[in-house]
Structure 1
Amino acid sequence: MRPDFASIAETIRAFVADPAVNRQGPDCDEPCFREPLVAVAAGDDPLWAFFKRDIGDFVWTPEEAFALAFPDAPASAPDLCVISWVLPQTPQTLAAHARETRFPSLPWSRVRHFGETINENLRRHVTAWLCKRGVRACAPALLPGFERTISAKYHFASPWSERHAAYAAGHGTFGLSDGLITRAGKAHRVGSVVAELSLQATPRAYEGPYDWCLHHATGKCGVCARRCPAGSVRPSAQGRRDKQKCFDYIRGTTQAHVRDRQLGIEVSSCGLCQAGLPCSTGIPRGKRSRGR
Structure 2
Amino acid sequence: MVHITYSDGVSIGRLAYYVPALFVSVVVIAKHGARRSFGWIFLTLFCLIRIIGSAAQLDTINNNNPKTPETIALICTVLGLSPLLLSTLGILTRVYHSILDQTARTKFSFVVRAIQIPATVALILCIVGAADAKSPADILSESTVHIGIILFAVVYGLLVLLTGYALRQWRLTGLGESRLIIAVCVTLPFLAVRVLYSLLAAFSHDAKFNPSTGSASSTTIALVMETLQEAVVVLVYLAAGLMVPKPTGDFGRENQRSWHGRDGAPQQHYALSEQQRHEQPGV
TM-score for both structures, normalised by structure 2: 0.31
Name the one with the larger helix percent.
Answer: 2
Structure number with higher relative contact order (C-alpha < 8 Å, ≥ 6 residues apart): 1
Compare CA radii of gyration and give the structure with the larger one.
2
Q: Of Structure 1 and Structure 2, which has the larger fraction of its residues in strand? A: 1
Q: Taking structure 1 as the reference length, what is the TM-score of the superposition? A: 0.30
